[in-house]
Chains A and B, each alone.
Chain A
Amino acid sequence: MSFVPKETIEVIAQSIGITNLSPDVALALAPDLEYRIREIMQESVKCMRHSMRTFLTTEDVDTALALRNLEPIYGSTSNDPPQFKRAAGHKDLFYIDDKDVDIKDIIEAPLPKAPLDTSITSHWLAIEGVQPAIPENAPVEAPSEIRKSEYKEDGLPVDVKLPVKHLITRELQLYYEKITDLTLNKPGSIPFRRALVSLATDSGLHPLVPYFTFFVADEVAQNLNNLAVLFALMRLVRSLLQNSQIHIELYLHQLMPPIITCIVAKRIGNRLSDDHWELRNFSANLVASICQRWATGAHFYYCMVPKRAMRRFGHIYHNLQPRVTKTFLHSFLDPTKALPQHYGAIKGIEALGSRLIRLLILPNLEPYLHLLEPEMQPEKQKNEMKRHEAWQVYGALLGAAGQCVHEKVKMFSNLFSPPTRVTSRGSGKAVIAMSGKRKASTDNLMQQQQQLPPMKKLATDGPGGVVAMNSMLVDMQGSTGGYSSMMGVSSMSMARQISIDNVPGREVGDQQRKLSSTLAQAWKDDIDTGNLVSSVVELFGESVLPFVVSNPEACMFL
Chain B
Amino acid sequence: MEDDKIVGYVTAFLKKKGFTQTEKIFQEEFQHNKSNTSNSLLEPDIANHLLAFSQLETGPARFHDGYSRLRTWTYSSLDLYKHELLRVLYPVFIHCFMDLVAKGHVQEARNFFNTFREDHEMMHLRDLQKLEGVLSPNHLEEMEFAHSLRKSKFNIKICEYSYELLLQHLHSTQSTTILGIINEHINFQVTPGQPSLISDDPEAVTLTGSSQEAANLINQKEIHWGLLEDSLEERLEKAGALLLDSEKGEGEAKEGENDETKKRSIEGGKQGGASVKKVKKDKGGSATGKSAKPEASTVPAAPRVKPELPLPVIPTEVEQSVLEDLRNRVQLSSVALPSVSFYTFINTHNGLSCSSISHDGSLIAGGFSDSSLKVWDMAKLGQQASSLSQGENDTSQNEQIFGQGGGKRQYTLFQGHSGPVYAASFSPVGDFILSSSADSTIRLWSTKLNANLVCYKGHNYPVWDVQFSPVGHYFASSSHDRTARIWSMDRIQPLRIMAGHLSDVDCVQWHANCNYIATGSSDKTVRLWDVQSGECVRVFVGHRVMILSLAMSPDGRYMASGDEDGTIMMWDLSSGRCLTPLIGHTSCVWSLAFSSEGSIIASGSADCTVKLWDVNASTKVSRAEEKSGSANSRLRSLKTLSTKSTPVYSLRFSRRNLLFAAGALSKSG
Contacts and interface: CB of A to CB of B under 8 A. Distances in A.
A128 B335 CA distance: 9
Contact of A51 (B129, B405, B422, B634): B422
A117 B642 contact: no
A59 B369 contact: yes
Contacts of A146: 609, 640, 642
Interface in A238-267: none
Contacts of A326: none
B386 interface: no
Contacts of B258: none
Contacts of A151: 634
Nearest to A119: B346
Interface stretch (B134-142, B314-322, B535-543): B134-142
A383 interface: no
A1 B106 contact: yes
Interface in B621-669: 632-634, 637-644, 647, 649, 661, 664
B650 to A, nearest CB: 9
B336 interface: yes
Contacts of B634: 150-151, 154
Interface stretch (B17-25, B178-186, B222-230, B586-594): B586-594
B117 interface: no
A116 B583 CA distance: 38
Nearest to B345: A120
A59 B664 CA distance: 18
Give the one of A2, A119, A121 with max B CB within 10 A: A119
A531 B346 CA distance: 88
Contact of A128 (B338, B587, B609, B661): B338
| Contact size range, A | 35 or more
B402 A129 contact: no
A185 interface: no
B349 interface: yes
A129 B338 contact: yes
Contact of A138 (B354, B504, B642): B642
A122 B135 contact: no
A34 interface: yes
Given A52-B352, A122-B342, A122-B343, A32 B135 contact: yes
B358 to A, nearest CB: 14
Contacts of B480: 46, 67
Contacts of A67: 461-462, 480
A52 B135 contact: no
Contacts of A118: 345-348, 351-352, 366, 368, 374, 411
Interface string B143-180: 00000000000000000000000000000000000000
Nearest to B402: A119
A50 B353 contact: yes
B347 A117 contact: yes
A156 to B, nearest CB: 8
Given A1-B110, A52-B353, A115 B347 contact: yes
Give the one of A1, A32, A35, A149 with max B CB within 10 A: A35
B133 A116 contact: no
Contacts of A137: 642-644
A32 B409 CA distance: 50
A178 B343 CA distance: 68
B639 A129 contact: yes
Contact of B342 (A31, A66, A125, A130): A125
Contact of B349 (A115, A143, A153): A115
Contact of B134 (A35, A53, A121): A35
A120 B410 CA distance: 9
B343 A121 contact: yes
Contact of B133 (A1, A38, A121): A38
A124 interface: yes
Contacts of A52: 352-354, 588, 590, 606, 647, 649, 664
B560 interface: no
Given A63-B438, A128-B339, A147 B345 contact: no
Contact of B587 (A54, A116, A126, A138): A54
A103 B633 CA distance: 63
A125 B352 contact: no
B480 to A, nearest CB: 7
Nearest to B649: A52
Interface in B480-514: 480, 504, 506
A49 B588 contact: yes
A52 B110 CA distance: 34
Which 6 residue pairs across A and B have the least CB separation, nearest first? A129-B337, A31-B135, A117-B405, A38-B133, A125-B340, A125-B342
Interface of B: 106-107, 110, 129-130, 132-136, 138-139, 336-354, 364, 366, 368-369, 374, 376, 378, 381, 401-402, 405, 409-411, 419-420, 422, 438, 461-462, 464, 480, 504, 506, 522, 546, 548, 564, 583-584, 586-588, 590, 606, 608-610, 612, 632-634, 637-644, 647, 649, 661, 664
Given A52-B588, A120-B366, 19 more contacts: A32-B139, A38-B130, A46-B546, A47-B462, A54-B606, A57-B350, A63-B419, A118-B347, A120-B410, A120-B411, A121-B344, A122-B342, A122-B343, A124-B342, A136-B644, A137-B643, A138-B608, A149-B586, A151-B634
